[in-house]
Amino acid sequence: MSALAVREELTFTELKALFDVSDGNLSAHARKLEEAKYLTCAKSFESRRPKTSYRLTTLGRNALNRYLDHVEAVIKATRRG
Amino acid sequence: MSPSNLVEIDSHAAETLQYIRSSMDAATAIRVHGAAGVSMGLIGLAAMALSVIPRLAAHWLGIWLSSAVIAGVIGGALVVRPASINRLALSGTPIRKFAICLAAPLFVGAVLTAVLIMHGALDVIPGTWLLLYGSALFAASVMTTRTIGAMGISFMILGLFTFLLPMNIQILALGVGFGGLHLIFGWWISRESHERQV
């Protein structure tokens, strides 16, 4: 989700190379995020080869922002303590 | 909760943030506006138009050096860094890598230009500029898109041919490169980004 926050769209192959994960692992993660409506998935063909592209939804972006806020709050709170 | 637990939570949160930041850096491609190419192309064409005027032909070097500075400022201003999300600012790594890739060949170009002027070898300056500018773009394409890489290769090929041309035609080759190629690829990049938005 962090990668998709800075790129309009990333393909399955690009995400796989970026995070160095297996097909199954990435598929499972992407499916869960898609079910949560955090990502949209588009399937197409490029030079007769299937291409799966992912985009972050507004819901996903908001969720990521909330998560980052939370993590930052944890750091601030613990450092104050 | 003991202080040692607090330290662990803190470091885990910091690691998470670091991971997210590095993921963003790795996924970030610097977006170059097509407008940057078009603007630089128009400046290149203007420089060519000025340098073929017989009264100004002797000042071609000054005209092109001035236009390079103007085009560099405008092009630099139009290279937009993707917006960071929320308060998590990008660390700046992609833009730094992009600048480093561009800077080395451009620095070599500046030094070689001074050396060639000192030795009076003006007839190899246009080819050198085109070749080194092309290599700068090609190197920087690692952080951008393949279109920038294709533009870099086009400049390099044109630079190689320019070395073989007579001096008066070399000025036109500068116009073809810094004017024409910038315009064509600027238009192409604009079209690509428009298609992505549709």
Q: Edge-to-edge, what's the strand order for the sheet holding A39-46?
A: A10-11, A49-56, A39-46
pLDDT digits (tens, 9 = 90+) for A29-63: 999 999 999 999 998 887 788 889 999 899 998 99
Under 8 Å CB-to-CB from B21, ≥6 apart: which residues?
A2, B88, B90, B91
Q: Are strands B31-32 and B79-80 parallel, antiparallel or unpaired?
A: antiparallel
- Rounded Cα distance between B94 and B27, Å, is 9
Inter-chain touch A68–B17, beta carbons under 8 Å: yes
For residue B82, the model assigns a pLDDT of: 45
Inter-chain touch A68–B86, beta carbons under 8 Å: yes
For residue B177, the model assigns a pLDDT of: 96
N- to C-terminal Cα distance for chain B?
A: 53
Beta strands, E only, chain A: 10-11, 39-46, 49-56
B170 close to B150: Cβ distance less than 8 angstroms: no
For residue B85, the model assigns a pLDDT of: 38
Walk along chain B (198 residues) in steps of 10 and give the mean pLDDT of each run: 57 79 71 85 95 90 94 79 40 70 92 95 95 94 84 96 93 95 92 64
> Which positions in chain B touch A62 (Cβ < 8 Å)?
none
B32, amino acid identity? V
Inter-chain touch B86–A69, beta carbons under 8 Å: yes
For residue B152, the model assigns a pLDDT of: 95
Long-range CB pairs of A48-56 (<8 Å, 24+ gap) are A51/A11, A51/A12, A52/A11, A52/A12, A53/A9, A53/A10, A53/A11, A53/A12, A54/A4, A54/A9, A54/A10, A54/A11, A54/A12, A54/A15, A54/A30, A55/A4, A55/A8, A55/A9, A56/A1, A56/A4, A56/A5
For chain A, say whether B193 makes contact (Cβ under 8 Å): no
CA B152 to chain centre: 9
Under 8 Å CB-to-CB from A48, ≥6 apart: which residues?
none
For chain B, say whether A63 makes contact (Cβ under 8 Å): no
The three-state secondary structure class of B83 is: coil
Higher-scoring residue by pLDDT: B43, A70: B43
Inter-chain touch B85–A10, beta carbons under 8 Å: no
Min CA distance, B132 vs chain A (Å)?
Answer: 30
Return the residue matching tokens 């998560």. A67
Domain A2-80, CATH among 1.10.357.10, 1.10.390.10, 3.90.1150.10, 1.10.10.10: 1.10.10.10
| Other beta carbons less than 10 A from residue B145's beta carbon | 16
Look at the alpha carbons of B171, B172, B177, B178 in this order and tell me if their dihedral is positive or negative. Answer: positive
**Extents of the domains making up chain B:** 33-81+92-197
Q: What is the ipTM of this complex?
A: 0.72
**Does the global pTM surpass 0.80?**
no
Helix count and strand count (H, E) for chain A: 4, 3
For residue B98, the model assigns a pLDDT of: 79
Inter-chain touch B87–A8, beta carbons under 8 Å: no
- Which residue in the set A69, A72, A74 is minimally distant from B9, CB to CB? A74
For residue A51, the model assigns a pLDDT of: 87
> Which positions in chain A touch B84 (Cβ < 8 Å)?
6
Q: By C-alpha distance, which of B104, B70, B82 is closest to B33?
A: B82
- Rounded Cα distance between B72 and B78, Å, is 10
DSSP string, B67-97: HHHHHHHHHHHHEEPPPPBTTB---SHHHHH
For chain B, say whether A69 makes contact (Cβ under 8 Å): yes
